Amino acid sequence: MHFTKIFSIGLLATSATAAPTASRRSLADVQAAFDKIQASIATMVTKINAWDGQAASVTGVMEESGKLLATIKSSTTAIQGSSAIGIVDAVGVLGPVNVLSAKVDDVVTALLTKKGQFDGAKVTGQVSEQLVQDQTATRELIKAILGKLPSMTVPIAQPIADGVSTKLDKAVTAFGPAGGAAPAAPGAPGAPATAA
């Protein structure tokens, strides 16, 4: 889909000099963030799938969701405090972003599959509140990551990042008040946000 752009970036990266140590540390921060978040999402999906539909036992799901939120926030803080990612290392971010997008698919699918049970247990409001917090934190994470990438890679990473936001919007809308609209996805750093 974006093969030409990715190929061009790859050529530039292979012809560039070795990336500065600071850039490599920034890439490591981003990759570590992805690893932690993906592991947390996997645990979250397991908890959701194992939930028996009873209000008394939803605590485990909510606690895991709280841990995921904390992981997203701490990862965002770590990335915000890191240096800009050089063109050589930027290519290494695109793959993990795609993997994260797939993991978000997993948790959204798990939540939507159990939607009827959440409704029946009358805990939909709790789930909705947590989802909104996760959505807000994820937007900040995406903003932090895009802000560290070279400008020429943002047009490639942005659609993938927007895809993550769109998937979360779907869950927020499903668990929110009937007829509620999900917030618009954020624009690229420095650009005004556009409506979804």
Q: Averaged over 7-28, what is the pLDDT?
A: 51
Q: What is the pLDDT of residues 112-150, one digit of tens each?
A: 999 999 999 999 999 999 999 999 999 999 999 999 988
Q: Any idea what DSSP says for residue 85?
A: P
What pLDDT is recorded for position 169?
A: 94
Per the rule left: phi > 0, alpha: psi between -120 and 50, beta: everything else, 93 is: alpha
Q: Whole-model pTM?
A: 0.77
pLDDT in tens, 31-49: 888 899 999 999 999 999 9
3-class state of residue 185 by DSSP: coil
- Tell how many helices (H) and how many strands (E) occur in the chain: 7, 0
Question: How many Å apart are CA 178 and CA 125, to the nearest integer?
Answer: 12
Q: Is the predicted pLDDT of residue 14 greater than 50, yes or no?
A: no
Q: Tally the residues of the chain.
A: 196
* Structure token pair of residue 31: 């990759």
Q: Which residue has the tokens 């990715």?
A: 6
Whose CA is closest to 12, among 4, 1, 22? 4
